């Protein structure tokens, strides 16, 4: 009887893991269908460069407000799965309306509406996955890498679909992927590991901004994540500027995003070998060097040949950043903290990098836009260095033991 129960529990865990991996695959398939190719839709309805910049820059502001609110709702009522199902369905439905409009005003309004719901997907799903990873003693990167696989496949396959059937394929692919992701949630458990929510949501935010390590990490994410997200918008124009084709953009994103998956897996080894903070610092440094290199206008062959740089920088950063937030914030405010982290990087950081990057492109060139991305990312390394080596660093086990011995306290 006990063996039967054990076998049944093992099968259930395996099914849950498959469902969670599938969720990340299809949720990020939606992202990969949309962001790398959306400029093709903008061009088809003849939006100007300024209008594209406004949409790309202003919309992330929505995340600054909505992501913490979604997180607060989840923390207060413990309804992560329900929130995810609602927001995935709503975002997909709004996406289907884009092919029916062709003016800047309508695109702008639809983009805002879609962003309200889409902003919940990353922080809430990461909270679910982090809870599952902790409960079953696995690396978050082993789950998150399926998102990279989905993004890579979507960029390539949706690119082919756009060439065959036009930009409308972007939105059909986006909606379909989100609906499938919502169905995958049915078998994913919602582990309520957080303590009961006993304070107001605003007091929760106040508590978070009093944590020096968390605030420093938000500052780093503003620069590093902002540049990463802005790159997803501007790379299509950059790649054509250095001699590439529109068809090559899909191939490039396939290789870029595809390289993230193995490095998300390897990130676990880096964390065990060097620690979480040094792994994040390494990823940020490689990212800064990458954008600075892009600003020198290397050939398309070199950009494609060194595609794995995306995995080493973005892949490792994505796999470890959420883990850092979880380990440096109270359990009862986990989703709120992840939402705040995402809203600062995806929201405020993306807005700033898109606005400044667009202005630099018009005033100078797209190469100087990438120079700006490199300098901004380098600025983001400063708070990471303070976290690792500054007054709020975490002591190594040996250092803690020495401190305990020096103070006369027994080591544990």
Domain presence at residue 1: no
Domain presence at residue 59: yes
Separation between Cα atoms, residue 385 and residue 388, nearest integer Å:
5
Domain presence at residue 2: no
pLDDT of 370 reads 96
Domain presence at residue 5: no
pLDDT tens-digit profile of 318-354? 778 888 888 888 877 777 787 788 778 877 888 889 8
Domain presence at residue 142: yes
CATH number, domain containing residue 287: 1.20.1250.20
Distance of CA 170 to the CA centre of its chain: 20
Domain presence at residue 406: no
Domain presence at residue 163: yes
Regions of the chain with pLDDT less than 50: 192-201, 395-412
Q: C-alpha distances in angstroms, 71 versus 68, 122, 150, 202, 327?
A: 5, 11, 24, 12, 17
pLDDT of 203 reads 56
Angle of CA points 178, 183, 184, to nearest 5°: 95
| Number of domains making up the chain | 1
> Quick one: tokens of 46?
């003849």
- Domain residue limits at 384: 10-390
Cα torsion angle, 296, 299, 302, 304, sign:
positive
pLDDT of 204 reads 67
């Amino acid at each position: 009887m006990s063996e039967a129960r054990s076998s049944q529990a093992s099968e259930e865990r395996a099914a849950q893991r498959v469902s969670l991996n599938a969720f990340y695959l299809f949720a990020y398939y939606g992202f990969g269908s949309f962001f790398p190719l959306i400029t093709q839709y903008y061009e088809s309805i003849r939006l100007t460069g300024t209008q594209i910049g406004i949409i790309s820059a202003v919309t992330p502001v929505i995340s600054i407000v909505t992501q913490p609110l979604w997180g607060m709702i989840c923390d207060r009522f413990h309804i992560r799965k329900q929130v995810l199902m609602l927001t995935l369905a709503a975002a997909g439905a709004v996406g289907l309306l884009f092919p029916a409009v062709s003016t800047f005003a309508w695109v702008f309004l639809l983009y805002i509406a879609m962003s309200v719901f889409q902003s919940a997907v990353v922080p809430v799903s990461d909270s679910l996955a982090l809870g599952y990873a902790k409960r079953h003693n696995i690396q978050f990167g082993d789950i998150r890498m399926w998102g990279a696989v989905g993004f890579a496949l979507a960029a390539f396959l949706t690119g082919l679909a756009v060439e065959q059937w036009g930009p409308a394929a972007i939105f059909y692919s986006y909606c379909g992927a989100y609906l499938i992701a919502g169905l995958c949630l049915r078998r994913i458990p919602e582990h309520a590991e957080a303590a009961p929510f006993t304070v107001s949501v605003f007091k929760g935010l106040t508590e978070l901004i009093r944590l020096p390590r968390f605030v420093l990490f938000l500052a780093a994410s503003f620069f590093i994540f902002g540049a990463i997200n802005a790159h997803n918008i501007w790379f299509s124009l950059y790649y054509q500027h250095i001699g590439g084709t529109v068809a090559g953009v899909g191939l490039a994103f396939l290789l870029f995003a595809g390289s993230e998956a193995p490095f998300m897996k390897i990130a676990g080894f880096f964390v065990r070998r060097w620690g979480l903070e040094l792994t994040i610092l390494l990823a940020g440094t490689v990212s800064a060097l990458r954008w600075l290199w892009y600003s020198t206008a290397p050939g398309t062959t070199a950009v494609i040949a060194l595609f794995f740089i995306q995995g080493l920088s973005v892949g490792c950063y994505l796999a470890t950043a959420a883990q850092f937030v979880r380990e440096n914030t109270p359990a009862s405010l986990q989703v709120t903290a992840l939402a705040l982290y995402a809203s600062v990087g995806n929201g405020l950081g993306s807005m700033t990098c898109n606005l400044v990057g667009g202005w630099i492109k018009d005033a100078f060139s797209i190469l100087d836009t990438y120079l700006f991305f490199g300098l901004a990312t380098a600025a983001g390394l400063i708070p990471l260095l303070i976290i690792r080596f500054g007054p709020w660093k975490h002591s190594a086990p040996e250092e803690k033991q020495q401190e305990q011995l020096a103070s006369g306290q027994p080591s544990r």
